[in-house]
Amino acid sequence: MTLQQAQAQVDTWIKEYGVRYFSELTNMTILTEEVGELARIMARTYGDQSFKKSDLGKDLGDEMADVLWVLICLANQTGVDLTEAFEKNMAKKTERDQDRHKQNPKL
């Protein structure tokens, strides 16, 4: 699936099942919440925190998909073509960082 297809699929789902998009501000808050849930699983899986019973059974991929879902909603609401934005971002990073990380002795 392409980013463009994902944006179209989310838009179709919202119109069919979601009635309408939440406001941009609400979705920004939801995105923050979803990133927090992802961070919680990351901290317990790869960091030093211990799992709580309520964390067991949480799926890392599902948490990442929740973040992606809300990000796509925000892109759709604000008219951002994620394919175009991602391609521009990759070009920017490539130009800016083409040698930067190769010179980092910590890597």
What's the pLDDT tens digit per position in 72-93?
A: 999 999 999 999 999 999 999 9
CATH, domain range 3-103: 1.10.287.1080
Ranges of each domain in the chain: 3-103
DSSP-assigned states of every residue in 40-86: HHHHHHTSSPPPPGGGTT--HHHHHHHHHHHHHHHHHHHT--HHHHH
Which pLDDT value is given to residue 66? 98
pTM to 2 decimals? 0.90
C-alpha–C-alpha distance, residues 28 and 106, integer Å: 34
